[in-house]
Amino acid sequence: MSDAKKTATDWIDENRVALICLSDQIWEFAELGLIEFKSSSLLIEQLEKHGFMINRTVSGMPTAFTATWGEGGPSVGIMGEYDALPGLSQKSIPQREPLSPGEPGHGCGHNIHGTSGLAAALATKKALEYHNLHGSIVFFGCPAEENFSGKVFMVRDGVFNGLDAVLSHHPSDMNAAEVRSSLAVNSAKFCFRGRAAHAAASPEHGRSALDACELMNVGVNFLREHVAQDVRIHYVIEKGGEQPNVVPSYARSWYYVRAPERSETEFIYEWVTEIAHGAAVMTRTAVETQFIDGCYNYLPSQTIAEMITVNMRKVGLPTYNKRDLAFAEEIAETISPETKLAQLKKTERPGWEKLADKLIDDNVPDPWGEGKVSHGSTDVADVSWQAPTIEFNTATWVLGTPAHSWQAVAQSRAGIGHKSLIFAAKTMATTAIDLLTEEHWLKRAKEEHKQSTHNKPYKPPIPKDHQPPIDIWKS
């Protein structure tokens, strides 16, 4: 390990307790997307304290920000997320018990995500400064990944312009820098308006918005037969009426439409929109489409994935004490063998079967999944169209833990999660230093990126005049 890398990893070790406390504070805040006021302020406070220049006016989102240190190139971006998920409140114990019933919880470990990125940025800055090395670091405070694709607004507005490479870390049940793509997605609400009437005395005078909503859902469900296997369409009915004896005058559904390519997503989304209008015609109601957001498919950097893998191995996997392992074993008992096997199989990791009897991932595999697609979506994808990008994983949870679960919430504030945070921060910092100081890595990553985007111009999926739905939680 070079002197600069050792300086960075030493800084992380020296500040380990403070970093864990910061992550735990964000875990306790558990704020939903676009209203992560306490979480973003906490990160900004630390970055300002260490000399980063803060921009709080980013893409109309009050919890988005950038923090820059250094001048000139190369320039490496490091991303951090900090939004929680609704209804997943959970104590940091190995049994299901909400901290505050019905409240949000960090079911995807974004408390760790934001803190690992912060730690990597601060440690990289320390190394560059101490060893008088050139380059700049930009930390991106990225809100609302879970629901409103905050990064896409930032990409549309040029916030990620001028970077040479971008790094991101995400909690998981594995240590991996896989290179599968993701699904592009559109998110939209369909608002039907009809006419209220007494459902028993004068139903003939009513026009049911709920009927329209349900007919749309039926039509979309028949559509599923005629789309590619990797396409995903899902929805909820947010509003369906008040009581049975009143014909509902208003109903609203919320849809996600996902596909492996952006163009395919747009094609299917248009089809879904036509079905909505057909449902309105059948019920003599009116429909309004409220487009919320969309994002692209992910273009992972094979080059940076290989760099991450090398650095994970050099940093060395965490070691766990008896308390960590006892907690992990109790959590593992709440996950059925069938669930665990299904989770492992979906990763398509070579040799996944060998992990079936393991508690915690104890290996760093080579990057895998080139040319394949995973079935989630992420706004990291839009960033990946701007510069060579990778989002890697570290084992924050026991093997088989589903994301967006109470088990993920509990472990994200436990010993396993804490050690994953430190491991990820060191990996990201050492990789950032490589990118800033080893010219051949950046050259190779950029050439690869140019090939990946060749003849595929990026067109923001969010219209220029479309603003983030910052009042969404009030509706």
Q: At which of 294, 325, 360 does a domain end?
A: 294
Judge if 288 and 302 occupy the same domain. no
Q: Does the residue 475 lie in any domain? A: no
> In the predicted model, what is the mean pLDDT of residues 336-348?
95
Residue 475 scores a pLDDT above 90: no
Residue 9 scores a pLDDT above 90: yes
Q: At which of 294, 315, 333 does a domain end?
A: 294
Tell me the residue range of the domain where 442 lies: 3-182+297-452
pLDDT tens-digit readout, 66-110? 999 998 889 999 999 999 999 999 999 999 999 999 999 999 999
Judge if 428 and 443 occupy the same domain. yes
Residue 268 scores a pLDDT above 90: yes
Q: Does the residue 463 lie in any domain? A: no
> In the predicted model, what is the mean pLDDT of residues 242-263?
97
Phi-psi region of 294 (alpha: psi -120 to 50; beta: other; left: phi over 0): beta
Distances (CA, A) of 66 to 53, 75, 128: 8, 13, 19
> In the predicted model, what is the mean pLDDT of residues 285-300?
96
> In the predicted model, what is the mean pLDDT of residues 164-186?
97
Q: At which of 243, 266, 294 does a domain end?
A: 294
pLDDT tens-digit readout, 118-155? 999 999 999 999 999 999 999 999 999 998 899 999 99
Judge if 309 and 361 occupy the same domain. yes
Judge if 177 and 239 occupy the same domain. no
pLDDT bin (cut points 50, 70, 90) of residue 117 is: very high
Judge if 375 and 247 occupy the same domain. no
Name which of 254-268, 408-422, 455-469 the model is least confident about.
455-469
Q: Does the residue 441 lie in any domain? A: yes
pLDDT bin (cut points 50, 70, 90) of residue 471 is: confident
CA angle centred on 363, ends 360 and 367, rounded to 5°: 120
Eight-state DSSP code of residue 225: G
* CATH number of the domain within which 281 lies: 3.30.70.360
Distance of CA 301 to the CA centre of its chain: 17
Distances (CA, A) of 249 to 29, 198, 206, 215, 243: 38, 11, 8, 15, 11
Tokens for 374?
Answer: 């995973």
> In the predicted model, what is the mean pLDDT of residues 382-393?
98
Judge if 363 and 379 occupy the same domain. yes
Residue 470 scores a pLDDT above 90: no
What was the pLDDT predicted at 147?
85
Residues 6 or more apart from 455 whose CB is under 8 A from it?
none
Judge if 218 and 332 occupy the same domain. no
What was the pLDDT predicted at 474?
66
What was the pLDDT predicted at 25?
98
> In the predicted model, what is the mean pLDDT of residues 28-35?
97
Q: Does the residue 459 lie in any domain? A: no
Q: What is the DSSP track for 63-103?
A: T-EEEEEEESSSEEEEEEE---BTT----SSSS---SSTTS
Q: Does the residue 140 lie in any domain? A: yes
Q: What residue type is 116 in one-letter code?
A: S
What's the mean per-residue pLDDT of the chain? 96
Judge if 214 and 79 occupy the same domain. no
